[in-house]
Amino acid sequence: MSMLQFSPEVAEAKRNNIPLVALESTIVTHGMPFPDNLETAWKVEETVRDAGAVPATIAVLDGTLHVGLSEGELEELAQAQTVAKLSRADLAVCMATGNTGSTTVAATMIAAAKADIAVFATGGIGGVHRGAEDSFDISADLHELAQTPVTVVSAGAKAILDLPKTLEVLETLGVPVIAFGQDDFPAFWSASSGLRAPLRMDEAAQIARAHLVRSELGLKGGQLVANPIPDDNQIPASELEPLIYRAAREAQQQGISGKDVTPFLLNRIFELTHGRSLKANIALICNNARVAAAIAAEINTALT
Ligand code: PSU
Ligand code: MN
């Protein structure tokens, strides 16, 4: 029995050797309010198509791991109320029990690798939370990057996190962190975190080559491409920082923990910026989708 259910569009792309870009679904179910989440998901898919690749949005629907969702499936997911947020730990349980769940960066990487999709675009990966020295809250996304061979394009890590600690853990785990077209590691809503990224590359073809060299060397794990948000859509870190501080304190006071932390913080920042964070979020995901499509095309060309 095949574990994966390909959508007709994805199946056809595979047959015709058209580059594919994986997309996650936790952004849709836990990252944005309805209907913006649905409009964004469609927009990101369109952006991938416009860039000459085919989008494969990943989710578990009634126990089946879908690679590529129809418009109707995406619509249903975007409005569903009780969808699990799946990471490495709970992906198999959700499938075994016939439930529905959206995939985080970690779970989407697992599905993408299984589906032989090399490149995945998201907004921002999970990382080391502020206060992790007490809470031990470190996203499973970081460990996934260390063991699953997918190149993930994100706008860095979300600024709600402790970015210096996130970079330290990625270094420890041997994950290449490649800033795209600049020296600094981006901070999701802002183009720069003020921290220098460990690596820099300026061309999709180079990143594609590095992906293939890793595979030739038999190295486990993927690459993190950190693509800065476009200039016009940035929210300056100075403006955001007090709001993040406030949201993080509220989360602590309200005893928010585990999987609920990231959705809680994203929602509070959405409220505190009167929706501006969402606009920035949409812009940066589309920007990542374009870069991911370019890398996927280069990998395809190199392999054929
Ligand atoms: N990026 C966004 N919005 C999101 C996420 C990322 O722009 O909602 C999700 C991703 O699915 C990521 C997850 O894997 O947040 C991280 O959750 P946690 O911190 O619980 O590992
Ligand atoms: Mn966590």
Predicted local confidence at residue 304, as pLDDT: 86
Helix (H, G, I), strand (E, B) or coil at 121: strand
From CA 18, how far away is CA 54, in angstroms rounded? 7
ipTM above 0.90, yes or no: yes
Length of the chain: 304
Name residues whose C-beta falls within 8 Å of residue 130's C-beta, 6 or more positions apart in sequence. 160, 161, 162, 248
Ligand 1 atom nearest the C-alpha of 284 is 7
Ligand 1 atom nearest the C-alpha of 158 is 1
Q: Which residue in 281, 275, 296, 213 sits closest to 43, CA to CA?
A: 281
Residues within 5 Å of ion ligand 2, judged at the Cβ atom: 137
Predicted local confidence at residue 159, as pLDDT: 87
102 lines ligand 1 (CB under 6 A): no
Contact 71, 46 (CB under 8 A): no
104 lines ligand 1 (CB under 6 A): yes
Contact 208, 299 (CB under 8 A): yes
Contact 304, 17 (CB under 8 A): yes
CA of 303 to the centre of ligand 1 (A): 31
Predicted local confidence at residue 237, as pLDDT: 87
> Mind giving me the DSSP string for 135-170?
H--B-HHHHHHHHS--EEEESBB-TTB-HHHHHHHH
Helix (H, G, I), strand (E, B) or coil at 24: coil
Choose one of 23, 26, 281 to mutate for the ligand 1 pocket test, by most ligand atoms within 8 angstroms of C-beta.
26
From CA 277, how far away is CA 264, in angstroms rounded? 14
pLDDT in tens, the chain (304 residues): 578 999 999 999 999 999 999 999 999 999 999 999 999 999 999 999 999 999 999 999 999 999 999 999 999 999 999 899 999 999 999 999 999 999 999 999 999 999 999 999 999 999 999 999 999 999 999 999 999 999 999 999 888 999 999 999 999 999 999 999 999 999 999 999 999 999 999 999 999 999 999 999 999 999 999 999 999 999 988 899 999 999 999 999 999 999 999 999 999 999 999 999 999 999 999 999 999 999 999 999 999 8
Kindly report the CA angle at 262 between 257 and 266, in degrees rounded to 5? 130
Number of the ligand closest to the Cα of 29:
1
From CA 241, how far away is CA 157, in angstroms rounded? 15
Chain centre to alpha carbon of residue 117 = 14
123 lines ligand 1 (CB under 6 A): yes
